[in-house]
Amino acid sequence: MSFTLVAAACGSDDDGAASDDGVETGSDDSSDDSSSDDGSSDDSGDDSADDSADDDGGETEDDGLPLSDMNLQPRDSLQDGGELRFAISLFPGNWNGLNVDGNTVSLDRIDDFVMPNNWIYAEDASFDVDPDYVESFDVQDATADTGLVVTLNLNPDAIWNSGESIDWEDYEATWKACNGEQEDYNCASTDGYNQIASIEQGDSPFQVIVTFQSSYPDWSSVLSGVFPAEGLVDAATFNEGWAGNDNFNSDWHTGPFALESIDDAERVLTLTRNPNWWGEPALLDTVSFRELQNPADVQAFANGEVDVVETMIDSNSVSQAENRTDGAIRTAGSLQWRHFTFQSKSGNTQDLEVRQAIVKATNRVAIAQSDLAGLPVVPEQLLLGNHFFMPGQQGYVDNSGDFAYDPEAAMAQLDAAGWVLPEGSEVREKDGVPLEVNYAMLTGVATSENEGKLLQSDLANVGIQLNLVNTPTDDFVSTLVGGTFDIIAFTWQGTNYPMANVRQIYGAASEGSDEPSSSNFAQLIMPDVEALIPQIDTENDLQTRIDLTNQADKIIWDNVHTMPIYRRQSFTAVPENLANMGASTFQLTSLQVENIGYTN
């Protein structure tokens, strides 16, 4: 499981993902796969979330946000039939969720319907097996002689759409593709897979024996799903065999739904009930996913043209969605967080003193207030001071103290570093080089544009010229992966395993490597973090592990790899009679999609 990129407007199973908020890409709490169009807005609709949401009687987080608002209903009380139409912020360009190009929130949501999910998560993130895929499991703790051993007893009826059984060889192939030993495989993350020593067949092909190198507390994250061995057979297949609309290979998918059609012109994927599905039949006849950026997505919802808009990020969207007479707004906590990523290998952001001064010069509270204006939230309560834990979550500590908003301190640090302000100039220089920084501003993405303009104003106050570089949303992923930016803002989608993916975003490709992880878009390797990662991965004592993770977090703040801004609250628009779908902090990572339907 990894962080996922969130696209411009709004994934991930247990992988983190990222998004530009108008554009998507891969994971952390982190890519997407999904991002949202974040922007400042003025009008309110402050009461809409509370008045329109269904009250499931769910629990709340420590910070008061509800954990879940899903209108949970038993399937036998729901209608048989109907359609459900999702708006997604980025139509996938690669259907391989393990690949860095496929690690998006939008693909995560699609994969809920057409790929295996081994676990069913409760609203508090505890889990049990999904018996359609895994009948039971056994865990043997690590000893002095052997690492942790997990035995999965698979459902022998489970098959890929090709008719091939889902068996131990698929687990072995998934592990070998992303354990870091095959550098040509462009995996979004090697976390977890790099902790496995072996995967073997047990008493039958449907018994999978997974032996880890030592202890690994987050073992369930890496075993939350599986990919078909046939689709991972070599690097070319892994990287290119799933890429493009022509390469949605139904044989490599499974689940209650199967592909019906892809409309390239309209950017719509439609699924229908899968005749090969062995479990309870899906209640819905069809499910579709249509690429729509904000505000087109909420306009389409208000007009009854789509049925689900997830992670609405501004008050205008919430207010407009309320115009649908049969609609409801469901709200809960979220694992998505906005941030700035800094490129460390080019331009003036190579200079640590510059990066640190930029953070001190940035009014994060003002950015959060502007982005979230009019929403029924308290922006100050959503301000994020940690790269791993959310406010209200066990382990959360605000480690941003040394980087509080302090323009005077920023200017003093730049002066001491030799970045001086020539008389009559508004831009600092050092050795004749002006202190200019390029911000990749995603065109048409309100949040990216808003944050860029606010950052530009803040930095001008301390003598830094921020150039707003118009970047098409279609170039979001290539810009991130290619490192063609100094600063970029997007959204990471977190996971139920906050300590499982340190290496994915903040580390080297593998232990001892000089190359950054493929999702380490800052391209910054921090030796002190590298020393902590193996300890965090294997420490069994929860409090000790939390302490180690917070040590890493402080180092990441000090090195200015990434500047967190705020954590999102989830606002999801749905038809009011839709059941078993809505907003949730943890449960949406493992939807039992066959049970989504409409009340009578």
Q: For residues 150 and 209, what is the distance between their CA atoms, to the nearest angstrom?
A: 6
DSSP helix, strand, coil percent of the chain (3-state; round to 5): 30, 25, 45
What does the pLDDT read at residue 178?
A: 96
Q: Is 474 helix (H, G, I), strand (E, B) or coil?
A: helix
Buried b / exposed e along 48-71 (16+ C-beta atoms within 10 A)? bbeebbbebebeebebebbbbbbb
Q: For residues 17 and 11, what is the distance between their CA atoms, to the nearest angstrom?
A: 6
Which residue shows structure tokens 């593998």?
510
Quick one: CA torsion of 453, 88, 86, 157, rounded to 10 degrees?
Answer: -140
What does the pLDDT read at residue 473?
A: 87
**Two tokens, residue 213:** 């190198």
Q: For residues 474 and 479, what is the distance between their CA atoms, to the nearest angstrom?
A: 9
Cis peptide before 498 (omega within 30 of 0): no
Report yes or no: 530 and 511 within 8 Å, Cβ to Cβ.
yes
Q: For residues 466 and 114, what is the distance between their CA atoms, to the nearest angstrom?
A: 43
Q: Which residues of the chain have pLDDT under 70?
A: 1-63, 589-590
Q: For residues 31 and 420, what is the distance between their CA atoms, to the nearest angstrom?
A: 37
Q: For residues 380 and 374, what is the distance between their CA atoms, to the nearest angstrom?
A: 14
**Two tokens, residue 378:** 């308290």
Query: DSSP letter at 566?
Result: E
- DSSP one-letter string for 252-319: G--SSEEEEEEETTTTEEEEEE-TT--SSPPS-SEEEEEE--TTHHHHHHHTTS-SEE----SHHHHH
What does the pLDDT read at residue 151?
A: 98
What does the pLDDT read at residue 23?
A: 40
Report yes or no: 553 and 386 within 8 Å, Cβ to Cβ.
yes
Report yes or no: 259 and 204 within 8 Å, Cβ to Cβ.
no
- DSSP one-letter string for 22-65: SSB--BS---BB--B---------TTHHHHHS------B-TTS-
What does the pLDDT read at residue 42?
A: 31
Helix (H) or strand (E) holding 583: strand 583-584
Q: For residues 160 and 255, what is the distance between their CA atoms, to the nearest angstrom?
A: 8
Q: Is 365 helix (H, G, I), strand (E, B) or coil?
A: helix
Report yes or no: 492 and 521 within 8 Å, Cβ to Cβ.
no
Report yes or no: 491 and 338 within 8 Å, Cβ to Cβ.
yes
Taking the domains of the chain in order of start, what are their residue ranges?
336-568
Name the residue type at position 424.
Answer: G
Q: Tell me the fold of 336-568.
A: Dipeptide-binding Protein; domain 3 (3.10.105)
What does the pLDDT read at residue 245?
A: 85
Q: For residues 309 and 85, what is the distance between their CA atoms, to the nearest angstrom?
A: 9
List the one residue out of 532, 565, 120, 160 whose CA is nearest residue 385. Answer: 565
Report yes or no: 120 and 127 within 8 Å, Cβ to Cβ.
yes
Which residue shows structure tokens 């929403």?
375
Report yes or no: 108 and 225 within 8 Å, Cβ to Cβ.
no
Q: What are phi and psi of 539, to 5 degrees?
A: -70, 125
Report yes or no: 316 and 295 within 8 Å, Cβ to Cβ.
yes
Q: What are phi and psi of 564, to 5 degrees?
A: -65, 145
What does the pLDDT read at residue 585?
A: 86
Report yes or no: 171 and 191 within 8 Å, Cβ to Cβ.
no
- Kindly report the pTM of this predicted structure: 0.80
Packing angle between helix 352-361 and helix 542-559, nearest 10 degrees? Answer: 100
Strand partners, 508: 516
Which residue shows structure tokens 């009008």?
43
